[in-house]
Amino acid sequence: MVLDFVPEGNFKMGYAGGIENSALPSHTVWLNNYWVDQTEVTNAMYQLCVDAHICKPAGCQAHPELNGNSQPVVCINWDEASQYCRWAGRRLPSEAEWEKAARGTDERMYPWGNEKPNEQLINIDGYDGKPDIVGRHPAGASPYGALDMAGNVWEWVSDWYEYEWREHIDYSSQPVWRNPLGPSTGDLKVIRGGVWTYGFNDQNVTAFIRSDTDPSSGDNYIGFRCVLSQSIQN
């Protein structure tokens, strides 16, 4: 896996424009530096962990539309994604790390900037009809070079999801939030980035869109990427 470097420092997380309520409010976050996988982990990469008898086989390996070597691995749950990252010497990104890698420090709407999505930038709205091979849309790269951070497949991150927890935080209580990790417990995990199955709607693939799902689910529209750094603490 090629890794892209994300330098330490502040960025604006979330969005103040009211498009995506669960992304409110915009607030300043400081992160340690780290490296992020340039692409989503592929079927071929994940199979190396299976061959090492560490990871369980992906649940969609028999599906011809989903099992291409260079397609993102899907049909694995949160624990399985986390296990792969540990085996590879990395870990799942925090939600904040994922978002900074996707949008940089200029508060852009999408990984590539503020231009609305199109088929040169992203896999969405049935352009390809399935998860695309990773890296096929280089024009849609993030400021740090990370690819496919919008559309293609949702991506697991480490954080628990709790809508009310985020809604009720007094973000003004700290001018800068350092290495935030989200709630300490929960029932659902955060997923980021949007998915190829969405109908064309530019609000569905912003760099700040977030959703949630059961960590035990192994859906065919959720993949992941890893990051490399020291463990982070609040």
Domain that holds residue 43: 3-228
Tell me whether residue 200 is in a domain. Answer: yes
Q: What is the CATH number of the domain that holds 216?
A: 3.90.1580.10
pLDDT tens, position by position, for the chain (234 residues)? 999 999 999 999 988 765 556 777 888 999 999 999 999 999 999 999 999 999 999 999 889 999 999 999 999 999 999 999 999 999 999 999 999 999 999 999 999 999 998 889 998 876 667 899 999 999 999 999 999 999 899 999 999 997 665 666 777 778 888 998 888 889 999 999 989 886 555 678 899 999 999 999 999 999 999 999 976 553
Number of structural domains (the chain) is: 1
Secondary structure string (H, E, C) spanning the chain: CCEEEECCEEEEECCCCCCCHHHCCCEEEEECCEEEECCCCEHHHHHHHHHCCCCCCCCCCCCCCCCCCCCECCCCCHHHHHHHHHHCCCECCCHHHHHHHHHCCCCCCECCECCCCCCCCCCCCCCCCCCCCCCCCHHHCCCCCCCCCCCCCEEEEEEEECHHHHHHCCHHHCCCEECCCCCCCCCEEEEECCCCCCCCCHHHHCCCCEEEECCCCCCCCEEECCEECCCCCC
Tell me whether residue 93 is in a domain. Answer: yes
Tell me whether residue 44 is in a domain. Answer: yes
Nearest to 97 by CA among 161, 154, 182: 182
Tell me whether residue 51 is in a domain. Answer: yes
Token pair 């400081």 is at which residue? 30
Tell me whether residue 234 is in a domain. Answer: no
